[in-house]
Amino acid sequence: MERSSLLQLIQEQLDPENTGFIGVETFASLVHSHELPLDPAKLEMLVALAQSNDEGQICYQELVDLISSKRSSSFKRAIANGQRALPRDGLLDETGLGFYKRFVRYVAYEILPCEMDRRWYFYQHRTCPPPVFMAVVTLTQIIVFLCYGARLNKWVLQTYHPEYMKSPLVYHPGHRARAWRFLTYMFMHVGLEQLGFNALLQLMIGIPLEMVHGILRISFLYLAGVLAGSLTVSITDMRAPLVGGSGGVYALCSAHLANVVMNWAGMRCPYKLLRMVLALVCMSSEVGRAVWLRFSPPLPASGPQPSFMAHLAGAIVGISMGLTILRSYEENLQDQCSWWVVLLSYATFLVFAVFWNIFAYDLLGAQIPPPP
């Protein structure tokens, strides 16, 4: 039965007077008597939703939103209020699952802090579209690194090779007019160690986040971190070039870690404290390595080494914009005031950074290294 036919049947039999409300027990009887194609998780959500109403009814529009796989903030709050009657370990008790469905369940418990959200994701998840953004970005970074490694015959500390900075992908303060470099620097890396660290986090954290929150939101967050990284370097470290996808990586990781901390009790991922400490140690070590290479280069260099400020800028984007995105699973961002505040703040920063790059270098007499 088509979704429109299902909704028409519901309205004709359960709300003929167009009151706008439907008794959930009557609806459940209709589902079983007509064998309607409604997921068990959705029926449980309807029961939970009705429990939040004193008269055991649900709004017809909320029912439409549920069947159409759309959720508003009010819908989510009602579900949260009614979920006390639902078994908390339902997904963990599922048996006979294939490998991919077990992986989907693993992702649900890794990313989402609420049992109802985990159930919703598990039953609503579709393999199409697949999480291609993080996979394509990571694969492109690996291919670019292999090409430059073979060309330069150098696999670590590539930025010390005189030909490396001539790449059209690297951000260099002398080439600020080539606007694409503010993004394409994410495909270049200092060496195998930086590429390995970024690629590992992109695959371990980025792909699960993209599976849950979708390609549009996660790609936007990643690219916002990348762009904020290069623009921050152009303001705070004006003489330094920049390579690596750390701005986007730190945006994803910081958003995820902040979401875990703020929903600590609800997160069911195993060894979360140990993993949190390990992640913070690794991320801090990577920042420390970048600071060391910037100010104490181990090899003679013809100019300043890549800046570390992109890491910090990405982390700020993740804690602000990223946390807002991750806390809005299956909700409309445009309906939230906090999203517009974050977006306006980011847009203000972009405008300021553009004017800074146009005027500040000449006004301040910045001594930037000659472009390669």
pLDDT at 137: 97
CB 260 within 8 A of CB 114: no
pLDDT at 107: 92
pLDDT at 260: 93
Cβ burial of 318 (10 Å; 0-12, 13-18, 19+) is buried
- Phi, psi angle pair for 22, to nearest 5°: -135, 135
127 vs 181 pLDDT, higher one? 181
Nearest alpha-carbon partner for 288 in 248, 322, 320, 246: 246
Place of tokens 């609503």: 124
Angle 9-14-20 from CA coordinates, rounded to 5° = 105
Top mean-pLDDT range of 2-6, 37-41, 94-98, 162-166: 162-166
Give yes or no for a cis peptide into 129 (omega within 30° of 0): yes
Per-residue pLDDT tens digits for 9-30: 555 665 666 665 666 666 666 6
Per-residue pLDDT tens digits for 295-315: 988 877 778 899 999 999 999
Percentage of the chain with pLDDT > 70?
75
pLDDT for 68 beyond 70: no
Catalytic annotation on 69? no
pLDDT at 269: 82
pLDDT for 93 beyond 90: no
Point out the catalytic residue in the list 307, 311, 320, 328.
311
Point out the catalytic residue in the list 167, 219, 230, 246.
246
Mean pLDDT of 225-235: 97
pLDDT for 78 beyond 70: no
This prediction's pTM: 0.80
Q: 1 falls in which pLDDT band (50, 70, 90)?
A: very low
pLDDT at 159: 86
pLDDT at 84: 39
Query: What is the 3 state secondary structure string of the chain?
Result: CCHHHHHHHHHHHHCCCCCCEEEHHHHHHHHHHHCCCCCHHHHHHHHHHHHCCCCCEEEHHHHHHHHCCCCCHHHHHHHHHHHHHCCCCCHHHCCCCCHHHHHHHHHHHHHCCCHHHHHHHHHHCCCCCCCHHHHHHHHHHHHHHHHHHHHHCCCCCHHHCCCHHHCCCCECHHHCCCCCHHHHHHHCCCCHHHHHHHHHHHHHHHHHHHHHHCHHHHHHHHHHHHHHHHHHHHHHCCCCCECCCHHHHHHHHHHHHHHHHHCCCCCCCCCHHHHHHHHHHHHHHHHHHHHHHHHCCCCCCCCCCCCCHHHHHHHHHHHHHHHHHHCCCCCCHHHCHHHHHHHHHHHHHHHHHHHHHHHHHHHHCCCCCCCC
CB 244 within 8 A of CB 197: no
Per-residue pLDDT tens digits for 138-176: 999 999 999 999 999 989 888 888 889 899 999 999 999
Percentage of the chain with pLDDT > 90?
53
Catalytic annotation on 33? no
Q: 86 falls in which pLDDT band (50, 70, 90)?
A: very low
pLDDT at 132: 95
Per-residue pLDDT tens digits for 324-359: 999 888 788 888 899 999 999 999 999 999 999 999
Mean pLDDT of 255-266: 92
d(CA 328, CA 244): 29
Mean pLDDT of 113-135: 84
pLDDT at 115: 78
CB 213 within 8 A of CB 255: no
Mean pLDDT of 29-53: 60
d(CA 11, CA 21): 10
For residue 285, what are the contacts with CB-CB under 8 A and spacing of at least 6?
Answer: none
d(CA 185, CA 217): 21
Average pLDDT, the chain: 83
pLDDT at 39: 61
